[in-house]
């Protein structure tokens, strides 16, 4: 099927919408972003958002899932012993000291209860994956304590990123991957 003489590429259109939505949601927030703006940024008809994502909320959820997938791709499936190194790589890999849109999406409150539930669910899933590396299982005694410890590790990694990119606090801001691996390893070992 063609539209105005061009073949339709559903996968490409979906990816273009996701990229435009991630930029908008990260820059303007969920509540201030309209589907019309996203469609305009993507150069497509606004009806395609409903076709591919059902709604603005569905598009936001897809953006969060894509952001989580991107973060997981950079970390890969690493053993617990490598978590500190991977976190240090991610933190020092921030381009130009700017928080990546993936992280902004996961941190920024949306002002919409359903969207915030989706965001918090993604953060919970990340901390559960980290806790699982340390042997966490939800049905075990003391499961909440290990999950809390994993969330503290996650919060530390986010804190590294925020302080490096937003405050330029020294020596943290200019620390290399090698400089950060040791302290992060100490945090991971102490908590997990």
Q: 130: domain range? A: 2-191
pLDDT band, very low/low/confident/very high, at 16 (cuts 50, 70, 90)? very high
pLDDT band, very low/low/confident/very high, at 157 (cuts 50, 70, 90)? confident
Question: 117 is written with which tokens?
Answer: 């539930």
> In the block, which residue shows the tokens 């953060």?
123
pLDDT band, very low/low/confident/very high, at 74 (cuts 50, 70, 90)? low
Q: Note the pLDDT tens digit of each residue in 21-70.
A: 998 988 888 888 999 999 999 999 999 999 999 999 899 989 888 877 76
Write the Ramachandran bin of 127: left for phi over 0, alpha for psi from -120 to 50, otherwise beta: alpha
Q: CB within 8 A of 95, min separation 6: which ones? A: none
Burial letters 114-153, b for 16+ CB under 10 A, else e: ebeebbeebbeebbebbbebbebeeeeeeeeebbebbbeb
Q: What local confidence, expressed as pLDDT, does residue 94 receive? A: 59
Q: How many domains does the chain have?
A: 1
Q: Residues 139-150: what's their mean pLDDT? A: 92
Q: What local confidence, expressed as pLDDT, does residue 75 receive? A: 57
Question: 57 is written with which tokens?
Answer: 């909320």
Write the CATH number for 99.
1.10.357.10
At residue 177, does pLDDT exceed 80?
yes
Percentage of residues in the chain with pLDDT exceeding 70?
A: 86
CA angle 9, 15, 17 (to 5 degrees): 100
Q: What local confidence, expressed as pLDDT, does residue 34 receive? A: 95
pTM: 0.76
Find, among 101, 88, 154, 99, the residue nearest to 125 by Cα.
Answer: 154
Give φ, ψ of 7 to 5 degrees.
-70, 145
Residues 29 and 31: their CA atoms lie apart, in Å, by: 6
At residue 126, does pLDDT exceed 90?
no
At residue 1, does pLDDT exceed 70?
no
- Mean of the per-residue pLDDT values of the chain: 84
């Amino acid at each position: 099927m063609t539209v105005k003489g061009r073949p339709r590429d559903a996968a490409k259109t979906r990816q273009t919408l996701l990229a435009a939505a991630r930029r908008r949601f990260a820059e303007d927030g969920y509540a201030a972003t309209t589907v019309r703006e996203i469609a305009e940024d993507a150069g497509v008809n606004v009806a395609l958002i409903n076709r591919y994502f059902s709604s603005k909320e569905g598009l936001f959820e897809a953006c969060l899932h894509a952001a989580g997938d991107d973060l997981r791709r950079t970390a890969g499936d690493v053993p617990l012993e490598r978590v500190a190194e991977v976190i240090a790589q991610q933190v020092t890999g921030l381009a130009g000291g700017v928080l990546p849109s993936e992280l902004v999406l996961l941190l920024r409150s949306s002002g919409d209860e359903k969207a915030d539930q989706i965001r918090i669910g993604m953060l919970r899933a990340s901390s559960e994956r980290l806790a699982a590396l340390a042997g966490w299982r939800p049905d075990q005694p003391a499961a909440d304590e290990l999950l809390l410890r994993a969330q503290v590790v996650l919060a530390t990694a986010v804190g590294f990123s925020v302080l490096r990119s937003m405050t330029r606090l020294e020596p943290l801001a200019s620390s290399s991957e090698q400089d950060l691996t040791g302290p992060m390893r100490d945090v991971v070992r102490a908590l997990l």
